[in-house]
Structure 1
Amino acid sequence: MAFSDAFKRPFQDFKSLVIGIVIMLIPIVNFIGIGYLLNCAKSAVRRDYKLPVWGNWLDLFINGIVALVIGIIYMIPAMIVFALTIGFTILSGNYSALMGGNVMTLIPMLATAGIGMLVTVVVGIIFWLLGSAAIVRYAEKGNFGAAFELRAIAKKAFTGAYFAAWLVGTIYALVLGAILSFIPFLGSAIASFICGVTMMTLIAEAYGKV
């Protein structure tokens, strides 16, 4: 599948597109939309690029919540590194000297913050890749435990094809999200659904290749 096919997928069926946007507009109900994105991933793994039919609303809702939980769990390491960065940055400061006008005491704090943020970004990207692949695996297997089979997930996530798909999807989401942000209220819902379908299609297709 070419990347362009993933970009076109959300627009295959106008009715499904409108339903998705409306659902993404409503807090809590939008978990149904997230569950639908998992169905998009599940079908893409099998090389089926037709938009899934809306239905089984309760299952979609539950799967959406589970996907969010999986994503949060996988981002915990990055959160820990970020918290440690803040803590060590605070501890590295000589505040009495700083209050006395010695700005050179800022250097250790800035160095600590810079290194910590760099590590946070690297760890964040690593676990973002793992987390997205874990969500695709959950969509494929339908089993919560499958999302934490780290060896199998790492083999999928740490490949050139998967990284390329993830990077293209991320850039697309950032650009489209920025453009649609100028549409009050509705813009974020449109971006969430369109970018979600595209991203899940891209990474699931790459996941299925390995």
Structure 2
Amino acid sequence: MFNDSINYLKDSDDAAKTVLIGGILVIFGFLIIPALIVQGYTIRVLRRVSDGDTEAPVFSDWGKLTIDGLKAAIIVLVYSLLPAILAVVFIGGGVALMDRAPFIGGFVALLGSLLTFVVGLAVLYVVPAALVRFAEKGTMGSGFEYESLVPIVRDREYATGWLLALGILVVAGVITSAIAVVPLIGWLAAVFLGFYAQVTAAYIYARSYAEATEHRLREGPEVDDTRPAV
């Protein structure tokens, strides 16, 4: 899967054009619409790969990309609300208590930090599966169909793919941080590399999701608990 993911965009017919457009959109992402288009392109990658299409998509039907990107952003935002609320309630509440009860306030803030980290990590783990589900079904509600998502995120294939994608994003982040210090050229190279890494990770998310789905269909629901991811 690793080699396939690395070569996914590189081996497409319009690789250079796609990376160029993607990088330019990332540069102007602060205008929001370009960022939504990039997110929409990622959803298109998730949809194609989960359907078994090995050819990377191109930037076309920009209106559709923007709408899909907006829907995906809303899904991510909704999932992110839970750790955000925990942080405000527990960490913020703990800090507020410190003036009157330092020990209790500190404990509440520490507990809140731990809960926020754990829930945030869980959200980071589930969101890619939710986005693949949305890409497949086309409705925002499908990204919250937990009865369909839970068996997928518990599967070993998905967990392995998620870790691989995370590793690629971390390595890409380190590399882009290192080369971005070079004036202009290094920063531009970091932008395009970041986009390439995002597409690579999307390929892995969709592929691992599809493999987890195939595993469940092949072995049947009666063995769901025999190969948990965690």
TM-score bracket for this pair, using the shorter chain length: 0.7 to 0.9
| Alignment partners' CA distance in 1, 2:45 and 2:210 | 13
Q: Which residue of 1 aligns with 2:25?
A: 23
- Give matches, 1:1-210, under 5 Å: 2-12=1-11, 13-27=15-29, 28-93=33-98, 95=99, 105=102, 108-181=104-177, 182-183=179-180, 185-187=187-189, 189-209=191-211, 210=213
Where structure 1 has 5 or more consecutive residues not aligned to the other structure, the ranges are 98-104
| Alignment partners' CA distance in 2, 1:145 and 1:38 | 15
TM-score (structure 1 length as normaliser): 0.85
TM-aligned CA distance change 1:172 to 1:91, over 3 Å: same
Q: Which residue of 2 aligns with 1:100?
A: none
RMSD across aligned C-alpha pairs, in angstroms? 2.1
Where structure 2 has 5 or more consecutive residues not aligned to the other structure, the ranges are 214-230
Q: Which residue of 1 aligns with 2:216?
A: none
Partners of 2:176 and 2:194 within 8 A in 1:
no
How far 1:43 moved relative to its partner?
A: 1.1
Report the secondary structure of 1:43's partner residue. helix
Q: Which has the higher contact order (CA 8 A, sep 6+)?
A: 1
Partners of 1:75 and 1:131 within 8 A in 2:
no
Question: Identity, % of aligned pairs?
Answer: 27
| Alignment partners' CA distance in 2, 1:65 and 1:96 | 44
| Alignment partners' CA distance in 2, 1:202 and 1:29 | 23
Partners of 1:180 and 1:190 within 8 A in 2:
no
One-letter amino acid of the counterpart of residue 195, structure 2? F
TM-aligned CA distance change 1:30 to 1:110, over 3 Å: same
> After the TM superposition, which of the residue ranges 36-45 and 17-26 deviates more from structure 2?
17-26
TM-score (structure 2 length as normaliser): 0.78
